Structure 1
């Protein structure tokens, strides 16, 4: 029996090498969300205006209101301890997660996995249309990590349920 996956998303300072996490959020099995801004470390300097335009979080806000990397890593470990947590951008998010935990001088005690591991070919065929429908229904004003995680989780759930009904 498949359970609803916990889905995590990271927002980044840029799209390439040298980018760092600026926000992390996840949606738990029953839809409870959690999100945190991340205060940049002193050597995290890359700032891409295109990425900033997407997540709409000014660097000044991160510096003033972001949580220290150690605190964010500890909160993630506390809430996700022992779980497998899924992402739709495994390579990118793995690098961001590693950067966060390296800066916090600790290791994640949860497993980050690619959402594609638990998406069937039937789900994949209806994924994009379902995701657009979920986004439209939720009508979220801001692009945030926890919102993105919830969209992905609901898309997975709806496509999973649709495939069960079809069979």
Structure 2
């Protein structure tokens, strides 16, 4: 198996006009990387959801001040992830937000997104269940990209430790 990466995006909300605000990834043998994303001009401010903001804890003003422009984010993602098997625990949503990101940058995405569940499907179900239970305690989801990719990595590491 080639390089494995885990990817997560946080977004302005869950609506059809929502857009990405943070992206993170982590290789199975490395440390996580994250980037805040400056809202693109064409992304509607009305898609900013206060409930989503209460979950991820990021303010719109912080994204405008500290986020990277979409072209920089896309270039870095392509540089880091091209050629890797990239897994998401929410590939439909993350794929949608990647589409929005790359469309805003007028760039081509050079990696594909796979379902994290497919990575674990060959393992015994009890092994996966135990890994998920342990990861919930030691590396919980936080609705932030860094923590969420580390959560997937922890599940993968625990589930494959005996392989």
Task: Give the TM-score normalised by the residue count of structure 1.
Answer: 0.86
Q: Residues 5 and 153 of structure 1 are in contact (CA less than 8 Å); yes or no, is this contact kept in structure 2?
A: no
Over 3 Å counting, the alpha-carbon distance change for 1:92 and 1:143 in structure 2 is closer
1:34 aligns with 2:33: yes
Q: CA deviation at 1:53?
A: 1.1
- Measured in 2, the distance between the counterparts of 1:50 and 1:32 equals 29
Distance in 2 between residues matched to 1:93 and 1:40, nearest whole Å = 16
Residue correspondence of structure 1 range 65-80 to structure 2 within 5 A: 65-80=66-81
Unaligned runs of 5+ in 2: none
User: How many pairs align?
Assistant: 161
**Stretch deviating more after TM superposition (113-122 or 54-63):** 113-122
Q: Distance in 2 between matches of 1:132 and 1:55?
A: 22
Show structure 1 runs of 4+ deviating over 3 A.
121-129
CA separation of 1:155 and 1:63: change in aligned 2, threshold 3 A: same
Give distance in 2, aligned partners of 1:136 and 1:20: 30
What SS does the aligned partner of 1:32 have? Answer: coil
CA distance in 2, matches of 1:18, 1:133: 35
Residue in structure 1 matched with residue 96 of structure 2 by the alignment: 95
1:157 is displaced (CA, Å) by 2.1
Is the 1:123–1:160 contact (alpha carbons within 8 Å) kept by the matching residues of 2? no
Map of 1:6 onto structure 2: 5
SS in 1 for 2:106: coil
Unaligned runs of 5+ in 1: none
RMSD of aligned alpha carbons: 2.1
1:92 alignment partner, SS class? helix
